Amino acid sequence: MYSIKSILVYCGSAKGNNPVYTEAAQRLGSVLAANKIQLIYGGGSIGLMGVVADTVMKNRGEVIGVIPKFLNVKEVGHGGLTSLIEVSSMHERKAKMEELCDAAIALPGGYGTLDELFEILTWSQLGLHKKPIGILNVNGYFNGLIAQLDTMVKEGFLSPANRRLLIESDDVTELLNLLGDFRPESGTKWLERNQT
């Protein structure tokens, strides 16, 4: 059904205060497994990270986790995955996850989720990859972030072309379809003075 074979998922090491976040993570995990889309993620066993991974594994899907040694030592690493890759640093983790995926999705999370999301967006802006990137806007969680991005365009700090690098939906199936339909625009957008 989908042309994408592996999706990198960024999300919280907490579950949040509303059960809708857990339900969305379970829905995503079920859809990934049903469509034989491999999950790439940070390798944790807790929070929404653990929920997505557990759901994919429960539904006989494939999960590759990438975790820094210092986090694995603290017993945050998930022991029941298809594969758990241990790396030396957070930087190496992000690079390895991007290398393994065809697309990336962010679910609700905290500083780490936003750090990972904006880094992979920046890499796209710089032309280092051409992979689609989306956010699953569960319960309007990212509404404030979306408004900030639009302010950045309005004030001239983000081009409309680079704004379009982030795909948004509150529905798992729609988001996966949008990611599959994504076609990168040509040019070195971050260097262009013309903001069209």
Cα 67 → chain centroid: 15
Cα separation, 97 vs 95, whole angstroms = 6
- Residues 119-147 pLDDT 10s: 999 999 999 999 999 999 999 999 999 99
Residue 74: pLDDT band with limits 50, 70, 90: confident
**Residues 76, 57: contact at Cβ < 8 Å?**
no
- Residues 8-49 pLDDT 10s: 999 999 999 999 999 999 999 999 999 999 999 999 999 999
**Residues 7, 106: contact at Cβ < 8 Å?**
no
Number of helices followed by number of strands (H, E) in the chain: 8, 7
Give me the mean pLDDT over the 164-184 stretch.
96
Residues in the chain: 196
Residue 195: pLDDT band with limits 50, 70, 90: very low
Does domain 6-142+162-186 match CATH 3.40.50.450? yes
Sketch the domain layout of the chain as residue ranges.
6-142+162-186
Contacts 24+ apart (CB under 8 A), 159-165: 159/189, 159/190, 159/192, 159/195, 159/196, 160/195, 160/196, 161/185, 161/187, 161/189, 161/192, 161/196, 162/125, 162/189, 162/190, 165/121, 165/124, 165/125, 165/133
